[in-house]
């Protein structure tokens, strides 16, 4: 069981470059989420998708766009990367109605 798979695991970008982080889940979950974790802190929600075809902003959406490509896949795009977006990005999924969230292993992104 793969669970939630994120690619790539590591990436270094230059300021102004664009990048798409990929996330796929094989648990047939309806909801998917993107979080960021800055050093020494808990995770903060960037965007989420409650179901296929819908996306909504979380706590820290500025500078990001998302696409729910199908039920399995939810991508996060940085159009013009900034050093403040250096972070570890986690994708998660769950079913609605009182179910635990399952997390991927994270993408470590550095922007120089």
Partner 1 sequence: GIQVEQSPPDLILQEGANSTLRCNFSDSVNNLQWFHQNPWGQLINLFYIPSGTKQNGRLSATTVATERYSLLYISSSQTTDSGVYFCFCWVDAGNMLTFGGGTRLMVKP
The residue from 32, 33, 109, 111 that contacts partner 1 (CB under 8 A) is 33
By the rule CB under 8 A, 39 interacts with partner 1: no
Question: What residues form DSSP beta bridges with 75?
Answer: 67
By the rule CB under 8 A, 65 interacts with partner 1: no
Q: Based on the number of CB atoms within 10 Å of its own CB, is 100 exposed (0-12), middle (13-18) or buried (19 or more)?
A: exposed
At 1, which helix (H) or strand (E)? Answer: none
By the rule CB under 8 A, 26 interacts with partner 1: no
- Minimum CB separation of residue 87 from partner 1 in Å reads 12
Kindly write out the interface string for residues 69-88 of this chain, putting x where it contacts partner 1 by CB under 8 A and - elsewhere: -------------------x
| C-beta of 17 vs 30, nearer to partner 1 | 30
Distance CA 71, CA 52 (A): 5
By the rule CB under 8 A, 34 interacts with partner 1: no
The two structure tokens encoding residue 28: 């047939």
SS3 85: helix
Residues found near partner 1 in the complex (CB under 8 A): 33, 41-45, 48, 56-59, 88, 90, 96-103, 105-106, 108
């Amino acid at each position: 069981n793969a669970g939630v798979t994120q690619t790539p695991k590591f990436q270094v970008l230059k300021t102004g470059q664009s990048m798409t982080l990929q996330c796929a889940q094989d648990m047939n979950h309806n909801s998917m989420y993107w979080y960021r974790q800055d050093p020494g802190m808990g995770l903060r929600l960037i965007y989420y998708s409650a179901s296929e075809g819908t996306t909504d902003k979380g706590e820290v959406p500025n500078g990001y766009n998302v696409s729910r490509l199908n039920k399995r896949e939810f991508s996060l795009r940085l159009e013009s990367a900034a050093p403040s977006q250096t972070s570890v990005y986690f994708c998660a999924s769950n079913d609605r109605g009182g179910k635990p969230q399952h997390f991927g292993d994270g993408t470590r992104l550095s922007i120089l």
